[in-house]
Amino acid sequence: MKRPGPIVAALLLLAPAMLGAATPPPVTVTSRGLVVAAEGHAAEAGAEVLRRGGNAVDAAVATALTLAVTYPRAGNIGGGGFMIVRLADGTATAYDFRETAPAAATRDMYLDEAGKVVRHRSTRGHLAVAVPGTVAGLALALERHGSGRLSWAELIEPARVLAERGFTVTDAMAEDLRASIDLLGANAAARRIFLRNGHYFEDGDLLRQPELAATLARLQASGPREFYEGRTAELIAADMAAHGGLITREDLAAYRPVVREVLRGHYRGHELLTMPPPSSGGIALLQMLTMLEGHDVAALEPAGAPKIHLFAEVMRRAYADRAAYLGDPDFTQIPVAALLDRDYLSRRAATIDLARATPSREVGGGLAPARAPRPEPMETTHLSVMDAEGNVVSLTYTINGIYGSGVVAGETGILLNNEMDDFTARPGTPNAFGLVQGEANAIQPGKRPLSSMTPTIVLRDGQVFIVTGSPGGSTIINTVAQVITNLIDHGLSPQEAVAAKRFNHQWLPDAITHEPGFASEEAMAELRAKGHELRLRQLYPNDPPRWSGTQGSAETIVVDLASGQRIGVPDGRRPGTAAVAE
């Protein structure tokens, strides 16, 4: 690996001023290909693809498939997500492989006779599962943008081998699995594979997944449509029918990913490439950054009360619009141009009082004619890839909650999502993340649920500068915004920008949730005096204690444009890794 250039070296020597006692993981600097992911085996699988002559898309596919084996809390072939591909020639494409509601899904399927949401019905078990899109989405991106040097079967092989031969369980993973006993223990296959029927995994044990290995072997032999039309589809549908789920073979055969136009915006001379609906992430991110452009963010203390107050007010307004207007564009007309209109956002920003928090009850969707805002789990993972030629992938995908629905589909070894919870189960009732969503996101057969996933690429002078994204449910958009502004406005080093303490405001509940130590006691007192309620981020269901209170995991690449060196920045909130093609 080449020594960092002088600019990079200076950046890496900066003290992690916003971290308190925490020590961020080391960054990786290279002039060649680079993969940053939440788990080491997966990052290395992608890097090995780059070494063998594959491009960024090839590497992203191998990494994502391997995460399905080695990072089962979020990595998946039983979920879905979004990918932004930006080629070295400047062309960019957005891939939507979000899950879809089964044909038998109904608007009120999670309500009881009294019209109230039934606890856990949309989050646990077979009824919570939407039709998975990951395999189809990865295959489509590979077909359109892969190098052609490595076959689909070759890109699956690292995942298949790790599933068959096993890999060593870390202390963190063992703790993670124990924290999910209630969820995984309710499903016989999940209980057998991940809990060993009560003989729980310990640090250093070997986790083998032979059924998943067999599924991956079928996908190698028969191609990606095997998941939707072959033996795997048959097994998934049979398991659904046996346990009250809705997904049929017809649902699986009908699934198709969608190629969408990349959503583009600008912030202080930078161009952003991000995800359009049914992700709410891109629109909300661009709204927030546009509202911030009228303020001198660089002059504000990064963890000071004035900056946090301003960001919270901008977040509040963007999330109110999210609740009122966003959903699946194939089912609902989304006013994208109106929501991103600079005059509209200037008027929206003008309602911010720098001395006082605006109560969320006073903030609704801001477009005219206004609609009354109506009501709307946390485990996702992000990976960033850049190859030697400058092709880039920003990929975020999910099974929604930690270990999804807790269901392993029969003999497939596949952990399935609980993505149906991302629809609006009932106006006025928050989902698992406290998000309130609108009529545009009501359940309909074949519809994609609204998402917060925000894979993003930032360009400076036409060159790739930042590749980022994050897990974190409703907090994703705000995590991505903070990483970007930490780099552009505050001039933090890549390491500092990712490690800096984070906070979140999502309109409802009307509070700033935050990581421990996100601001001084004096700053927190000032925020309360402005009218903000502050809430320390709590442990989510199934989260191991070591991750309590953290927000997101932004596996990021930053390019030092002066030297051309790429800086891989794992996020220390998860066991992330940067692997290089050298």
Catalytic residues: 380
CA geometry: angle at 540 spanning 312 and 536, to 5°?
Answer: 40
Cα radius of gyration (the chain): 22
Token reading at 436: 């309130």
296, exposed or middle or buried, with CB in 10 Å at 0-12, 13-18, 19+?
exposed
Instruction: Give alpha helix (H) positions in 422-517.
Output: 476-488, 494-499
Q: How far is it, in rounded angstroms, from Cα 137 to Cα 151?
A: 16
- Residues 6 or more apart whose CB falls under 8 angstroms from that of 429 comprise 117, 375
Give how far the C-alpha of residue 241 lies from the chain's centroid of Cα atoms, to the nearest Å: 30
Q: How far is it, in rounded angstroms, from Cα 148 to Cα 166?
A: 29
Token reading at 240: 């659904």
Q: How far is it, in rounded angstroms, from Cα 77 to Cα 398?
A: 9
Taking alpha carbons only, the member of 321, 305, 318 closest to residue 354 is 305
Angle in degrees, 0-180, between the axes of helices 305-325 and 342-350, rounded to the nearest 10: 130
Look at the block and give the residue holding tokens 């991505």.
480
Peptide bond into 278 cis (omega under 30): yes
DSSP β-ladder status, 263-267 and 258-260:
unpaired
Count other Cβ atoms within 10 Å, centred on residue 204: 10
Q: How far is it, in rounded angstroms, from Cα 402 to Cα 540?
A: 9
Compute the residue count for the chain: 582
Taking alpha carbons only, the member of 98, 85, 89 closest to residue 143 is 85
Taking alpha carbons only, the member of 411, 382, 532 closest to residue 75 is 382
Q: How far is it, in rounded angstroms, from Cα 210 to Cα 216?
A: 10
Q: How far is it, in rounded angstroms, from Cα 125 to Cα 413?
A: 15
Instruction: Give alpha helix (H) positions in 83-209.
Output: 134-145, 152-165, 171-178, 181-184, 188-194
Peptide bond into 509 cis (omega under 30): yes
